[in-house]
Amino acid sequence: MAMIHNRIIAGPPEAMIKLLQIPARFPDATRSHIENWQESLIAWWRHPKKHKLMISSFTHISPEKMASLKKWVKLRTKDRSEKKGKTLDEIETSLLTFVMK
């Protein structure tokens, strides 16, 4: 999984947009698939040079795909560390702020 995260972080802006569109492409994903996807999202959010890119990528997500994205970000598991849970909270807040603009 770390290789996937590194590839996304090292990739072009289009890689971020594709990552954000995954929830809409797989509406029947299992909980474990969503949790794995969240790891990539967390890695990107925490990367100092990519954080703003992620936020700016929200403008490329349609309202329908944004609804799926928010649903996947909202998912929490008791096994996730508190730090990662807080990162997901930050992403969720950012999504809500973006939608409200």
Q: What is the pLDDT of residues 65-99, one digit of tens each?
A: 999 999 999 999 888 999 999 999 999 999 988 66
Confidence band for 1, pLDDT divided at 50, 70 and 90: very low
Whole-angstrom CA distances from 48 to 54, 78, 100 are 11, 27, 25
Number of domains in the chain: 1
What's the CA gap between 54 and 76, in Å, rounded?
20
User: Running DSSP on this structure, what letter comes out for residue 61?
Assistant: S
Range of the domain at 34: 2-100
What's the CA gap between 44 and 19, in Å, rounded?
10
Nearest to 19 by CA among 97, 50, 82, 83: 50
Q: Model-level pTM? A: 0.85
Task: Give the pLDDT score at 8.
Answer: 66
Q: Check whether 12 has a pLDDT greater than 60.
A: yes
Task: Say what percent of the chain tops pLDDT 90.
Answer: 56
Identify the residue with better confidence: 47 or 30: 30
Whole-angstrom CA distances from 86 to 16, 36, 46, 72, 98 are 20, 16, 11, 15, 18
Q: What are phi and psi of 81, to 5 degrees?
A: -65, 155
